[in-house]
A and B are shown apart, each in its own frame.
Chain A
Amino acid sequence: MPRSTRRGVAQEPGDDLGRYSDPPLLILASLGDGPKHGHAMIEDIVAMAGTRLGPGTLYGAIARLERDGLIEPLAADDRRQPYRLTAQGRRVLKAKLATLHEFARAGLRKLEA
């Protein structure tokens, strides 16, 4: 599945090395503070991670997450379809973020040593 296609924020050299750009995780994180439809997710992810997901990438990941039971659709607003985290999705997101947090702490410890 294609990944991000466009960077949304001006960068310093090396800025993108630390950017986490796994689309499913970005979507789960974006839905962490409440339901959103596709366009709102894209903008939220730009603000949160500096990565702009392409429409195809976004919906490929949405389909996968829905199939895995990590997100679920709500009633459509016009033709915009909002999604929210399921209980399982919330658990997976927490576990993933905790792992990343540990990883970041370990990396920082190594730098300070």
Chain B
Amino acid sequence: MNARLARRLAALYPSAWRQRYGDEFCKLLEDEPVSTRAIVNVIAAAVAEHIRWTFDNGDACQRSLQFLSGAALAAFAAGVNFYWTVVDTPLAPAMSAHAALRACWLLVQAGAFVFGLAIVATAASTVPATLRDVVKARRWGLVAGLVPMMLVPLATITWMTIASWPSGSNAATWPTIPAHWWLVSTIVLLLIVDLFACAAMMRDLTGGRQATTRRAGWLKANAVALTCAAGMMAAGAVGWGLFAEQYAAANVHGVAFLGSAALALVAARPRRSTTTTDEDGRLSTRTID
């Protein structure tokens, strides 16, 4: 395998892993004959290594942030899907006349509002410190990786809006039900991919830094708020399904909201600790209390 291909394949691994094994791994790849199976094997191993580094390493605060980002995206995906499931049906106008249905819908909206506030509060407390660290250490590669990750939800929502915009004679029937489901499925898929990218990026952004160390209490409060908000949304979705006799749709969204509540609940257990990176790129964690 030529050196250039070997370097590109090694670049797929997490940065801390590369610091420790990158050079020798490149040499091994150069010694190995090129084959599709070897390339696929390296790509699959790199993905597995990202998942392992993302969820097995780092301090409690970093893991909390990763779980919170997952919870936020899961709830967002479920919320978008739920909204689209309701907005195109006769149930949307019917809600104004049906008090229980409307109450459940308002419960979901209230949960989404609290959820949004908690996400903004979490971001406001961690993003500036993390960005300061990134700028100070001149880790521009991480910023370059972060930008597309942030653009995915934005691009998705923009595309969704354009695709569903009523136009001409199709205004009353667009999007059709199949187009509607394709759009929603693609959005959810993109958001799931973004969820993993977001978690992996959070790992690298906060890796070896102490940007989150002093914010354990704040993170915990926000994680508790997120858990409650996701629980409210789950209850609202299931209640809505009960009164609208749309059990299947309600159950799917209720489970999705509960999933995000579970992620936020896991995130609600941060401890004060500090993570450092040694010369070999290994992360070590020291719990403060």
A and B associate in one complex: yes
Distance in Å: Cβ of B1 to nearest Cβ of chain A: 9
Q: How long is the Cα–Cα vector from A54 to B31 in the complex, in angstroms?
A: 12
B21-29, B207-215, B242-250 - the one binding chain A: B21-29
With A2-B48, A56-B44, A57-B41: A63-B27 Cβ-Cβ less than 8 Å: no
A37 partner residues in chain B, CB cutoff 8 A = 24, 28
A103 within 8 A of B: no
Q: Are B45 and A59 in contact (CB-based, < 8 A)?
A: yes
A70 to B: closest C-beta gap in Å: 16
**Cβ-defined contact, B26 with A54, below 8 A:** no
Q: Mark B24-53, 1 if CB is under 8 A from A, else 0.
A: 111111011001011011111110110000
- A56 with B42: CB separation less than 8 A: yes
Contact present for B42 and A78 (CB under 8 Å): no
User: In the assembled complex, which residues on chain A have CB atoms less than 8 Å from the CB atom of B27?
Assistant: 38, 78-81
Q: How large is the interface on A (under 10, 10 to 19, 20 to 34, 35 or more residues)?
A: 20 to 34
Count, chain B residues at interface, CB 8 A: 24
Q: Is A17 an interface residue (CB 8 A)?
A: no
In angstroms, how far is the closest chain B Cβ from the Cβ of A52? 9
Chain B neighbourhood of A80, CB < 8 A: 24, 27-28
User: Chain A, 1-27, contact with B by CB distance < 8 Å: what is the 0/1 string?
Assistant: 110011000000000000000000000
Q: At the interface, yes or no: B17 with Cβ under 8 Å from chain A?
A: yes
A63 pairs with B21, CB closer than 8 A? yes
Collect the chain A residues with CB atoms within 8 Å of residue B44's CB: 2, 56
- A63-84 vs B, Cβ < 8 Å mask (1 yes, 0 no): 1000000000000101111000
How many Å from the CB of B97 to the closest CB on chain A?
Answer: 56
Decide yes or no: A38 and B45 within 8 Å by CB, A5-B37, A6-B37, A63-B21 being known contacts.
Answer: no
Q: Residues of A contacting B20 with CB < 8 Å?
A: 63
Point out residues on A near B: beta carbons under 8 Å. 1-2, 5-6, 37-39, 42, 54-60, 62-63, 76, 78-81
Interfacial residues, chain B to chain A (CB-CB below 8 A) = 17, 20-21, 23-29, 31-32, 35, 37-38, 40-46, 48-49
